[in-house]
Amino acid sequence: MIGVGIIGLGTVGSGTLKILTESQALIKERTGLDIKVVRIAEIDPKKTKGKGIPAGILTKSAGELIEDRNVHIVAELMGGTGLAREFIMSALEKGKWVVTANKALLAEKGDDIFRIAEKRGCEIGFEASVCGGIPVIRAIRDGLVGNRITSMLGILNGTSNYILTRMTDEGISFDDALRDAQKLGFAEKDPTFDIEGIDAAHKLCILVRLAFSYPIQMKDVITGGISKIQPIDISFAREFGYKIKLLGVAKNVNGSVEARVEPAMIPVSHPMSSVSGVFNAVYVVGDRVGPTLFYGKGAGSEPTGSAVVSDIVDMALRMETKNHRIRGPVYRVGKRAKSAKEALVPYYMRFTAQDRPGVLSKVSGILGDYKISISAVNQRERKESGYVPIVILTHEAGEKNLKKAKEEIDKLPFIKGESVHIRIEEGNL
Amino acid sequence: MIGVGIIGLGTVGSGTLKILTESQALIKERTGLDIKVVRIAEIDPKKTKGKGIPAGILTKSAGELIEDRNVHIVAELMGGTGLAREFIMSALEKGKWVVTANKALLAEKGDDIFRIAEKRGCEIGFEASVCGGIPVIRAIRDGLVGNRITSMLGILNGTSNYILTRMTDEGISFDDALRDAQKLGFAEKDPTFDIEGIDAAHKLCILVRLAFSYPIQMKDVITGGISKIQPIDISFAREFGYKIKLLGVAKNVNGSVEARVEPAMIPVSHPMSSVSGVFNAVYVVGDRVGPTLFYGKGAGSEPTGSAVVSDIVDMALRMETKNHRIRGPVYRVGKRAKSAKEALVPYYMRFTAQDRPGVLSKVSGILGDYKISISAVNQRERKESGYVPIVILTHEAGEKNLKKAKEEIDKLPFIKGESVHIRIEEGNL
C-alpha cells in the first residue's frame, strides 16, 4: 500500500482527495496498486467539513503529516511560497517524494527544492503546476524525450483567455469581460496575477526549464498583461486575419533562450487561435516530431486533481518496484548563463492621428529611419472628432528599435495619446 | 548499455535509427542511459545503403537479430501482419521487450501478441502505432490514469485529412485532391487503406482497447471513407457552420462502446475542426479532466521515429532499474462482450429533387413517419436542368431509421439518384 498525505484541502486538494477516493478501484485495476490517502493536513475546519473524511486522518499540523511513516508521498496543495516551501523542504529532507501544483513556488524558488530533492534521492512531481489537467509535463519529458525543443507557444492562463475570448466574440470591453469573469468565479477579486501575465510567466518558467534544460529566472521573462487591450485592436486584428491572445513564447534564438508572456496576434488559421474560453494549450515544436499541441482545462478542482493523481500513480508504480531512479534534469537549476538575443518578429502598430495630408508619410518616414519596413496599412474612415486610427503591420523588427520609433512618432504634433504596439506570432516555428 | 535491434529500415526504421544515433548523447544527458542500436535486420540492400551503418550490425535475418543476446529491445518496424507477427511472437517468447509501429497488426491480431507478452513478463510499446509523433498513448495511459474516458474523437489519418482540407479550402474535387496527394507522396498509389477509413479504424481499435479497456474487434468498428464526399456537401456544411472531417468516434453508450470511422460534420468552433492538412489529433474526454486534445504529425520518418524512441527510452529506464513490472491492461484482450447500442446524433441529408411544389412536404412527411424531426432546411436556387439540391439537418436520430427513410425517399419519382447523409458530431461530449 502506498500512503499519500495531502497538505491543503482547497480547490486542488479536494479534487485530488475525491479522485483518489472514488477511483481507488479503477487505479488498482489499471496498475495493480493500492494507493490511499492516509493523512490530510488542513487548518480551516470549513474546508474539511462534509467531505466524509475518516476520523484519525485529519490533522492541523503539516509537520505531523510529514513525520507520519505511513505517508510515502506528500502532496503539497496549499499554495503560496512561504510555508509551502518549508513543508516541501522538510518532506524532502525526510526522504519523502513530493507532488505539487505550486507554480509560483517552483518558478520563484525552485532551485533550492530541486537541489535538495536530488541530494536526498527524491523526486518532485509537478504535472499539476502547468496547465492543470493537460499532461504536458510528461508529454515533453517522456513523449518527446528524443527531441530538442526549438520553441513553444502557450496559452497558459484561463482567466485572461476567457476575458480575451469574450472581448473577441462579443466586442465588449476589457472591464466588462473582467467583471463577468469575476462574477462567474473565473477571476479573483484581485485579478493582477492572472491578467498581468504573472501566473502565465510562472508556468512558462517551469516549461522552459524542462523543455530547454535552461535555468531561466522569473526576472528574465518579459511579462505583460492584457488590461490595455482595446476592442478596436481586436477588431483590426480580425481584419488582418489574426486573433489576440495572451501568449507565452519561448524560443531558442542563436543558442540563448528568449521567453516572454504578453498579448500577441496569432493567425486565425493557427491551431492555437481556436483555444477559447478558460481552456489552456501548449504548442511545442521538437526538432524530430515537428509541431505538437496539448490542450485542455488549465484549472479547476478535478482537472488539476487529475494531474496530481497522475504524478502520484507514476511515483507509486516506481516505489512498488524499488525503482527509485530519478529521471534526468527535469527542472534545470542554476543561474541563467547568458542573456537572450532579441528575436525579430512582425508588429501591429496603431496610431491615433489627425486626419490630414502628410501624416502617413511622416509616420512611415520615422519607421524607415529605424529600418522598420511596412507590410500593410489600414486607415479607417474619417471620424467626427477629426482623428482617425492608422494601423500599420511591420515586417520583422526588433522591439528596441520599434519602441524608439514609437516614442518619436508619439511626439509628433498630429498624433494623439500613446500609440499601441502588439507582437505578431505567425506561429510557423 | 541497452541494445536495440531494428527490424525493417523503411521510413519509420530509418527515422528511429537516425534519432537514436544522432541523439545518443542527448538521451544520455537526460536519462543517464546508454542506448545503442546494435543490430539491424533488412533484406533490401537499397534501404541500408549510404546510411553509415557500421559493419557487423547489419543482417538479413530477423531471427538472428532476435537471438542476439545484446539485443534487449526489438523494434519491429517492417509492417505487415504476416512475418512481422512471427518475429514479434518469437522475440516475446525469448523474453525480449518489443516496440512496434504496426497498427494493422495490433488491431487485427493484437490479442495473441499481448497474451504472450503477459505470459512472458514482457512489455509491448506501441506509441508509434497511433498518430505517429503525438504522445497520445502515454497521455491516456499515464496522464489520464485517474480518469474514466467517456468519449473520443480522432482525426487519425493524415492522407484523408489532407484531401478533405484541400477540398474545403479550394473547392476542388476528391479526385483532384487525391491526385495531388499522390504526387506529393501523401497518398499511396493504391490509397484504399487511407481513404476508405481502414487505417483510421486500426488506430481507433487500439485507442478503444487502451482508453475504454474494452476488447473491440475491427469488424465491430463501423467504417466508411471519404471517396464519395462532394464539394457541394462541403459547401453546404460551411453554410451551416460545419467542416467535414474523416472522424473516428468512440463513445460509451449506456455501458457499451460504439466505435465508428466515417466522414462527419463538426462545428467550426470545435478545436478538432482546425486540424488541417496531414496533421492528426485526438480529442479525449475524461470524467475528471474534461476534454483534452493532442495534436501533431501522424506520419513521417522522424515524427514516428520520435514515438518509437520514446518507448525505447521508457523501457530502457525500467530495465536499468530492474523495474520489469508490466503496466496494467494497456491493451484489453478477449472477445467483445456485447454489441453497441446505437447512438443518436443529428444528420445532414442532401436530396436532388425536381423543382416543383409539394416536394419538401412529401420528403419531410416520410422523415416524420420514421420519427425523424427537422432542425433546418436549405433549398438552393433553381438549376437549369430543373433539379435542385434540398439539404435537411435533422435533430438526433438513429442511423437505421434514417437509412430506411432515405431509401423510401430515394424511390420517389421526383428524386434523382442516391441521396447523401452525413453524421453531425457536435463534439460537446
> Over 60: is that where the pLDDT of B329 sits?
no
Report the distance separating Cα B388 and Cα B395, nearest Å: 23
Q: Locate the chain A residue with the closest alpha carbon to B29.
A: A328
Which 3 state secondary structure label does DSSP give A318? helix
pLDDT confidence of residue B323:
54
Binary contact (A306, B288; C-beta < 8 A): yes
**At B157, which amino acid appears?**
N
> Over 70: is that where the pLDDT of A338 sits?
no
Paired residues of A132 in beta bridges: none
- The whole-chain average pLDDT of chain A stands at 92
Reported as a single tens digit per residue, the pLDDT across A1-37 is: 999 999 999 999 999 999 999 999 999 988 889 999 9
Report the distance separating Cα B181 and Cα B226, nearest Å: 14
Percent of chain A with pLDDT over 90: 82
For A60-64, what is the mean pLDDT?
97
- Break chain B into its structural domains and give their ranges: 2-128+301-320, 136-297, 347-424
Binary contact (B142, A318; C-beta < 8 A): no
Binary contact (A291, B291; C-beta < 8 A): no
Please name the member of B143, B276, B296 whose beta carbon is closest to the beta carbon of A310.
Answer: B143
Sheet holding A97-100, edge to edge: A58-59, A35-41, A2-7, A73-76, A97-100, A124-125
The residue among B333 and B412 whose pLDDT is bigger is B412
Q: Give the pLDDT band of residue B336 (cuts 50, 70, 90).
A: low
Report the distance separating Cα B292 and Cα A282, nearest Å: 12
Reported as a single tens digit per residue, the pLDDT across B350-367 is: 999 998 888 999 999 999
> Over 90: is that where the pLDDT of B318 sits?
no
How far from the centroid of its chain's Cα atoms is residue A77's Cα?
18
pLDDT confidence of residue B338:
62
CB-CB contact of A312 with A20 (8 Å)? yes
> Over 70: is that where the pLDDT of B322 sits?
no
Please name the member of B138, B309, B318 whose beta carbon is closest to the beta carbon of A146.
Answer: B309
Please state which CATH class domain A2-131+301-320 belongs to. Answer: alpha beta
Residues of A in contact with B127 (CB under 8 A): 143
DSSP one-letter code for A224: -
Three-class HEC string of A116-157: HHHHHCCCEECHHHCCCCCCHHHHHHHHCCCCCEEEEEEECC
Reported as a single tens digit per residue, the pLDDT across A250-259 is: 998 777 889 9
A49-58, A324-333, B80-89: the lowest-pLDDT one: A324-333
Size of interface A-B (CB pairs under 8 A): 217
CB-CB contact of B27 with A328 (8 Å)? no
For B14-35, what is the mean pLDDT?
94
pLDDT confidence of residue A363:
95
DSSP one-letter code for A343: P
Q: What's the Cα-to-Cα distance from A142 to each of A388, B4, B30, B230, rounded to whole Å?
A: 53, 18, 10, 42
pLDDT confidence of residue A327:
55
CB-CB contact of B122 with B97 (8 Å)? yes
Percent of chain B with pLDDT over 70: 95
Please name the member of B271, B295, B329 whose beta carbon is closest to the beta carbon of A292.
Answer: B295
B2-128+301-320, superfamily in CATH? NAD(P)-binding Rossmann-like Domain (3.40.50.720)
Report the distance separating Cα B98 and Cα B33, nearest Å: 18
Alpha helices in A323-390 (DSSP H): 359-369
Domain A347-424 in the same topology as domain A136-297: no
Report the distance separating Cα B80 and Cα B298, nearest Å: 18
Binary contact (B325, A320; C-beta < 8 A): yes
Q: Locate the chain B residue with the closest alpha carbon to A35.
A: B146
For A184-189, what is the mean pLDDT?
93
> Over 90: is that where the pLDDT of A187 sits?
yes
> Over 90: is that where the pLDDT of B285 sits?
yes
Report the distance separating Cα B327 and Cα B380, nearest Å: 57
The DSSP secondary structure of B385-401, one letter per residue, reads TSEEEEEEEESSB-HHH
Binary contact (B15, A276; C-beta < 8 A): no
Residues of A in contact with B32 (CB under 8 A): 328
Q: What's the Cα-to-Cα distance from B261 to each of A41, B167, B222, B295, B429, rounded to whole Å?
A: 49, 19, 6, 18, 17
Q: Which among B24, B278, B293, B308 is the top mutation candidate for probing chain A, defined by the most A β-carbons within 10 Å of its own β-carbon?
A: B293
Which 3 state secondary structure label does DSSP give B279? strand
Distance from CA of A359 to the nearest CA of B (A): 39
Q: Taking Cα atoms as reference points, which of A403, A402, A423 lies closest to residue A345? A: A423
Distance from CA of A364 to the nearest CA of B (A): 35
> Over 80: is that where the pLDDT of A206 sits?
yes
The DSSP secondary structure of A17-56, one letter per residue, reads HHHHHHTHHHHHHHH---EEEEEEE-S-HHHHTTS-PPTT
Residues of B in contact with A320 (CB under 8 A): 325
Please name the member of A213, A275, A306 whose beta carbon is closest to the beta carbon of B271.
Answer: A275
Which 3 state secondary structure label does DSSP give A204? helix
Q: How many helices (H) and strands (E) does chain A have?
A: 15, 16
The sign of the torsion formed by the CA atoms of B172, B177, B180, B186 equals positive
CATH 3.40.50.2000 for domain B347-424: no
Give the active site residues of B: 203
CATH of the structural domain B136-297, one choice from 3.40.50.300, 3.40.50.970, 3.30.470.10, 3.30.360.10: 3.30.360.10
Q: Locate the chain A residue with the closest alpha carbon to B321.
A: A323
Reported as a single tens digit per residue, the pLDDT across B99-113 is: 999 999 999 999 999
pLDDT confidence of residue A65:
98
Report the distance separating Cα A180 and Cα B150, nearest Å: 31
Paired residues of B223 in beta bridges: B261
Q: Locate the chain B residue with the closest alpha carbon to A30.
A: B328
Residues of A in contact with B31 (CB under 8 A): 145, 327-328
Residues of B in contact with A213 (CB under 8 A): 29-30
Length of chain A: 429
Distance from CA of B83 to the nearest CA of A (A): 28
C-alpha cell at A70: 505511513
CB-CB contact of A19 with A302 (8 Å)? yes
Task: Read off φ and ψ for residue A280, nearest 5 degrees.
Answer: -115, 160
Distance from CA of B90 to the nearest CA of A (A): 27
Q: Locate the chain A residue with the closest alpha carbon to B307.
A: A143
Binary contact (A142, B314; C-beta < 8 A): yes
Report the distance separating Cα B348 and Cα B210, nearest Å: 31
Residues of B in contact with A19 (CB under 8 A): 146, 288
Reported as a single tens digit per residue, the pLDDT across A119-164 is: 998 999 999 999 999 999 999 999 999 999 999 999 999 999 999 9
Q: Locate the chain B residue with the closest alpha carbon to A141.
A: B30
> Over 70: is that where the pLDDT of B327 sits?
no
Residues of A in contact with B148 (CB under 8 A): 23, 26
Residues of B in contact with A30 (CB under 8 A): 145, 213, 327-329
For B254-277, what is the mean pLDDT?
92
Q: What's the Cα-to-Cα distance from A352 to each of A226, A420, B30, B359, B387, rounded to whole Å?
A: 20, 9, 52, 58, 55
For B115-143, what is the mean pLDDT?
94
The sign of the torsion formed by the CA atoms of B53, B59, B60, B63 equals negative
Q: Are strands A256-267 and A222-223 parallel, antiparallel or unpaired?
A: parallel
Neighbours of B175 (CB within 10 A): 10
pLDDT confidence of residue A425:
92
Distance from CA of A125 to the nearest CA of B (A): 12
CB-CB contact of A33 with A2 (8 Å)? yes
Please name the member of A133, A305, A310 whose beta carbon is closest to the beta carbon of B142.
Answer: A310
pLDDT confidence of residue A174:
97
Binary contact (B27, A147; C-beta < 8 A): no
Q: Which among A123, A266, A270, A289 is the top mutation candidate for probing chain B, defined by the most B β-carbons within 10 Å of its own β-carbon?
A: A289
Binary contact (B313, A145; C-beta < 8 A): yes
For B383-407, what is the mean pLDDT?
90
Neighbours of A419 (CB within 10 A): 20
Q: At a CB cut-off of 8 Å and minimum separation 6, what does A75 contact? A: A4, A5, A6, A7, A13, A16, A98, A99, A100, A308, A312
C-alpha cell at A408: 518619436
Place of cell 543490430: B39
Reported as a single tens digit per residue, the pLDDT across B204-249 is: 999 999 999 888 999 999 999 999 999 999 999 999 999 999 999 9
Reported as a single tens digit per residue, the pLDDT across B79-88 is: 999 999 999 9
Percent of chain A with pLDDT over 70: 95
